[in-house]
């Protein structure tokens, strides 16, 4: 997803700031994604109250990638199990 092209446009509010998200995804998907980011930012701000918004947003990305890589590993395990069964 990116900001400021053609296709479906959805405006969301994250951490008090408006973002217009453009992409093929439905507005309901974009709203769900935005709510997740907003929730994560507030959660991390609670544990790190002195962070400025930029550092908070980067730290949010770090946490999201951490979750993402762990999920990828879990998915790989599934795929390996599948391959084992197919032999």
Helix (H) / strand (E) containing 23: strand 17-23
DSSP state of 18: E
Residue 59 as a binder of a second copy (CB under 8 A): the answer is: yes
Say whether residue 8 binds a second copy (CB under 8 A). no
Helix extents (H) in 1-87:
27-47, 53-86
Helix axes 53-86, 27-47, angle to 10 degrees: 120
16 counts as binding a second copy under rule CB under 8 A: no
In the complex, the smallest distance separating the C-beta of residue 8 from a second copy, rounded to whole angstroms, is 13
48 binding a second copy? (CB under 8 A): yes
Per rule CB under 8 A, count of chain residues that contact a second copy = 45
Q: Is 45 exposed, middle or buried (0-12, 13-18, 19+ CB in 10 A)?
A: middle
Binding site for a second copy (CB under 8 A): 1-4, 14-15, 17, 19, 21, 25, 29, 32-34, 36-37, 40-41, 44, 47-48, 51, 53-55, 57-69, 71-72, 74-75, 78-79, 82
């Amino acid at each position: 997803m990116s900001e400021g092209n053609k296709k479906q446009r959805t405006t969301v509010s994250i951490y008090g700031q408006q973002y217009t998200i453009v992409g093929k995804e439905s507005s309901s998907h974009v709203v769900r994604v935005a709510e997740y980011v907003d929730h994560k930012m507030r959660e991390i701000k609670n544990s790190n109250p002195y962070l400025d918004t930029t550092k908070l947003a980067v730290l949010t990305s770090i946490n999201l990638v951490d979750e993402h890589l762990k999920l990828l590993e879990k998915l790989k395990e599934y795929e390996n199990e599948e391959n084992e069964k197919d032999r």
